[in-house]
């Protein structure tokens, strides 16, 4: 059934949905959660595969074209490839992608490829084993790189983007190794500015190493040329002038890209978030489990999207960090 497209109160068409399938994670990244982890949701609190599929099918009828599965760490959710297989059959979707820390990728690459996954984002903050360990509190870099090697065997699972969170006094030393990595592997590396969504609420502006600063470090050694920006894109993407690959910078703090935002998020327990920094959420799980019809759910979604925030207010007076952390939003 074709429904009216989803348009927010600022006349932006919403076509990108990120679904968090779990709040759990097997890493403990310094900028995300404490070493002891967080109080995880109980199994009954998170949406079942069937509930996720129903919401995705409905939103796809309302114009969602791109679906990204996130977490926590999505691959810790058992049988995730089964959910991927169901979602890739939703006719209106152009692509189904996944954001993962890569630790379980070697195990799941074949099943994900077989389920029809379109592309991957793999989060790696350092290519140096000790620094990777220092950031994630896991000695897991070799395992993650084996996961990337496993994905290489599935040419349709492209592009593979490698996302590194940029932190001052840490990522400056990662800039050139990641540039070399992008040039050698063909994976598109993207640095993402550190955002105030950490569990410790310890974020301060001076911890942000901007994309421009990283671009300059790389450009001084490997000249870069900027590529045209895709509509609603989050990254500024550059090609290496000598043609050896691409590198990107996601700069939500220093260069916000909210004006043509087309994104909507669904949390693991079924809350609709209209912005990464939303201070309000709309519950879908309650109506879903209370037997709401698709038309009733559609109205709830439309009302929420109509109130979608124009932009984030990071760095503005009065900005308040949302209570929900990145690990429970999923990016």
Question: Which chain residues interact with ligand SF4 by CB under 6 A?
Answer: 252, 257-258, 261, 263, 275-277, 309, 311-312
Look up tokens 């309302």; give the residue. Answer: 62
> For residue 115, what are the contacts with CB-CB under 8 A and spacing of at least 6?
81, 82, 84, 85, 88
CB of 19 to ligand SF4, least distance (A): 15
Q: Least distance from C-beta 98 to ligand SF4, angstroms? A: 19
Query: What's the min distance (Å) between Cβ of 253 and ligand SF4?
Result: 10
Shortest gap between Cβ of 45 and ligand SF4 (angstroms)?
A: 24
Residue 215 vs 263, nearer CB to ligand SF4: 263
Q: ∠191-193-195 over CA atoms, to 5°?
A: 145
**Residue 269 CB, nearest approach to ligand SF4 (Å):** 19
Strands, DSSP E only, in 8-75?
16-20, 66-70
* CB of 261 vs ligand SF4, minimal distance in Å: 3
By C-beta, is 83 or 275 nearer to ligand SF4? 275
- Residue 49, classed as helix, strand or coil, is helix
Whole-angstrom Cα distance, residue 56 to residue 60? 6
**CA angle in degrees (0–180, nearest 5) for 34-67-250:** 55
Q: Which of 5, 25, 23 is nearest to 15 (CA)?
A: 5
Q: Which is nearer to ligand SF4, 285 or 312 (CB)?
A: 312
Nearer to ligand SF4, 68 or 263 (CB): 263
| 160-166 and 66-70 strand pairing | unpaired
* 236 φ/ψ angles, rounded to the nearest 5 degrees: -90, 120
Q: Say if residues 137 and 30 touch (Cβ distance below 8 Å).
A: yes
Instruction: Write down the least CB distance from residue 63 to ligand SF4, Å.
Output: 16
As a whole number of angstroms, the distance between CA 173 and CA 163 comes to: 16
H helix intervals, the chain: 49-61, 80-87, 105-114, 129-136, 141-151, 175-185, 211-219, 285-289, 294-306
CA nearest 19: which of 80, 61, 79, 62? 80
Residue 132 or 277: the one with the smaller Cβ distance to ligand SF4 is 277
Minimum Å gap between C-beta 232 and ligand SF4 is 9
Measured in residues, the chain has a length of 331
Backbone angles phi, psi at 192, to 5 degrees: -115, 125
State which residue, 74 or 331, has the beta carbon closest to ligand SF4: 331
Q: Which structure tokens are listed for 86?
A: 């169901």
Closer residue to ligand SF4 (CB): 138 or 311 = 311
Residue nearer to ligand SF4 on the CB measure, 10 or 146? 10
Q: Least distance in Å: CB of 195 to ligand SF4?
A: 9
Query: What does DSSP assign to residue 163?
Result: E
**187: helix, strand or coil:** coil
In the complex with ligand SF4, which residue's Cβ is closer, 193 or 309?
309
């Amino acid at each position: 059934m074709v429904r009216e497209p989803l348009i927010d109160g600022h006349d932006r068409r919403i076509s990108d949905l990120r679904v968090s399938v779990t709040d759990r994670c097997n890493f403990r990244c310094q900028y995300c959660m404490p070493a002891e982890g967080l109080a995880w949701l109980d199994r009954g609190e998170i949406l079942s595969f069937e509930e996720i599929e129903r919401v995705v099918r409905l939103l796809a009828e309302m114009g969602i074209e791109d679906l990204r599965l996130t977490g926590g760490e999505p691959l810790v959710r058992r049988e995730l490839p089964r959910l991927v297989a169901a979602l890739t059959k939703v006719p209106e979707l152009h692509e189904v992608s996944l954001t993962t820390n890569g630790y379980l990728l070697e195990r799941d690459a074949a099943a994900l490829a077989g389920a029809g996954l379109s592309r991957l984002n793999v989060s790696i903050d350092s290519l140096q084993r000790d620094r990777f360990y220092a950031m994630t509190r896991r000695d897991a870099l070799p395992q993650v790189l084996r996961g990337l090697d496993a994905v290489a065997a599935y040419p349709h699972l492209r592009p593979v983007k490698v996302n590194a969170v940029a932190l001052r006094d840490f990522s400056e030393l990662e800039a050139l190794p990641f540039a070399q990595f992008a040039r050698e592997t063909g994976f598109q590396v993207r640095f993402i500015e550190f955002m105030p969504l950490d569990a410790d609420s310890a974020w301060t502006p001076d911890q942000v190493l901007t994309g421009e600063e990283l671009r300059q470090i790389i450009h001084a050694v490997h000249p870069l040329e900027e590529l045209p920006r895709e509509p609603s894109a989050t990254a500024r993407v550059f090609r290496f002038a000598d043609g050896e690959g691409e590198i990107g910078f996601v700069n939500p703090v220093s260069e916000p890209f909210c004006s043509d935002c087309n994104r909507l998020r669904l949390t693991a327990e079924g809350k609709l978030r209209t912005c990464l920094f939303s201070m309000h959420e709309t519950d879908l799980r309650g109506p879903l489990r209370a037997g709401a019809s698709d038309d009733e759910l559609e109205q709830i979604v439309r009302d929420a999207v109509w109130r979608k925030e124009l932009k984030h207010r990071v760095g503005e007076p009065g900005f308040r960090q949302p209570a929900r952390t990145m690990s429970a939003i999923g990016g």
